């Protein structure tokens, strides 16, 4: 199944549960975690002038202040602050040799969501077609990077929305085989008491190596 393009709406103005506008940190390319070997740009959106933006990296003030857009050159966890709307949620930029990425956007029931397992030489994708709440859970991937067996950090996929009329939570969508030496694995799911087997071509079912959530 082909990957579905992901678009970020830069005019989106999210609200907090109390209805107040919040500061948001947009990432381009729009994937999480972002990876340092992409050219990652962060854009801080909130009230006040762009020159009033304060940046933080790993909880410490970052040298590049006074601008609302930042090109990332170091791994770490980034936030930004704008007067009147406060601190943004964090964005992590990784330089791990193997990374599993999910779209940096709200994931809604019915969408087709593509997970990307990326290494220096190989990559593979898994599409969750017609996303349902039972797809929510932790995912990871593993495979050879060079001559070393590597494992990605786990990422959390959360499906938002209501079940469509007549949806049966007992009908679980199976994962299709991936013809790649990289494998994407379900670690935990809200409706699955155990992890699904690895879906690598020719691989035998076994438990994933990641720990509990």
Q: Does residue 141 lie within any of the structural domains? A: yes
Please say whether the beta carbons of 40 and 28 come within 8 A. yes
Q: Does residue 1 lie within any of the structural domains? A: no
Q: Give the β-pairing of 31-32 and 76-82.
A: unpaired
90 vs 213: CA distance, rounded Å: 20
Can you give the pLDDT at residue 198? Answer: 29
Residues 57, 112 within the same domain: no
Please say whether the beta carbons of 161 and 168 come within 8 A. no
Residues 179, 109 within the same domain: yes
Can you give the pLDDT at residue 123? Answer: 76
Residues 182, 131 within the same domain: yes
Residues 43, 112 within the same domain: no
Q: Which of these, 30, 77, 24, 78, lies nearest to 47 by C-alpha position?
A: 24
Check which CATH number belongs to the domain holding 47 and give it.
2.60.40.10
Q: Which domain holds residue 174?
A: 98-189
Residues 79, 127 within the same domain: no
158 vs 150: CA distance, rounded Å: 25
Residues 102, 88 within the same domain: no
Question: Domains in the chain: how many in total?
Answer: 2
How do residues 35-73 score in pLDDT, each as one tens digit?
998 899 999 998 777 778 999 999 999 876 778 999 999
199 vs 175: CA distance, rounded Å: 7
Structure-token pair, residue 62: 């970052």
Average confidence (pLDDT) per 10 residues, the chain, 213 residues: 29 39 90 92 85 91 83 94 90 91 89 85 78 87 80 88 45 34 53 29 35 38
Residues 49, 87 within the same domain: yes
Q: Which of these, 211, 111, 194, lies nearest to 157 by C-alpha position?
A: 111
Residues 80, 120 within the same domain: no
Can you give the pLDDT at residue 142? Answer: 84
Q: Does residue 6 lie within any of the structural domains? A: no
Residues 102, 180 within the same domain: yes
Residues 108, 175 within the same domain: yes
Q: Does residue 5 lie within any of the structural domains? A: no
Residues 89, 113 within the same domain: no
Q: Does residue 70 lie within any of the structural domains? A: yes
The residue among 94, 113, 139 that closes a domain is 94
Q: Which of these, 121, 63, 58, lies nearest to 90 by C-alpha position?
A: 58
Q: pTM score, two decimals?
A: 0.65
Structure-token pair, residue 138: 């932790």
DSSP string, 136-174: -EEEEEEEEETTEEEEPPPEEE-EESPPPTT--TT-PPP
Q: DSSP assignment, residue 15?
A: B
């Amino acid at each position: 199944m082909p990957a579905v393009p992901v678009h970020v709406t830069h005019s989106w103005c999210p609200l907090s549960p109390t209805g107040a506008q919040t500061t948001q940190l947009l990432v381009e390319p729009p994937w999480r975690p972002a990876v340092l070997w992409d050219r990652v740009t962060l854009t801080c959106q909130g009230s006040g002038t762009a020159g009033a933006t304060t940046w933080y990296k790993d909880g410490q003030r970052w040298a590049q202040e006074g601008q609302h857009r930042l090109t990332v050159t170091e791994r770490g966890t980034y936030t930004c602050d704008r007067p009147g709307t406060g601190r943004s949620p964090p964005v992590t930029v990784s330089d791990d040799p193997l990374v599993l990425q999910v779209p940096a956007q709200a994931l809604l029931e019915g969408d087709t969501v593509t997970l990307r397992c990326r290494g220096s030489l190989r990559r593979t994708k898994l599409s969750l077609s017609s996303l349902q709440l039972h797809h929510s859970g932790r995912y990871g991937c593993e495979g050879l990077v060079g001559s070393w067996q590597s494992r990605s950090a786990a990422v959390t996929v959360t499906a938002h929305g209501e079940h469509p009329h007549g949806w049966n939570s007992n009908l679980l969508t199976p994962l299709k085989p991936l013809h790649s030496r990289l494998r994407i694995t379900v670690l935990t799911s809200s409706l699955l008491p155990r992890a699904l087997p690895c879906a690598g071509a020719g691989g035998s079912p076994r438990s994933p190596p990641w720990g509990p959530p």
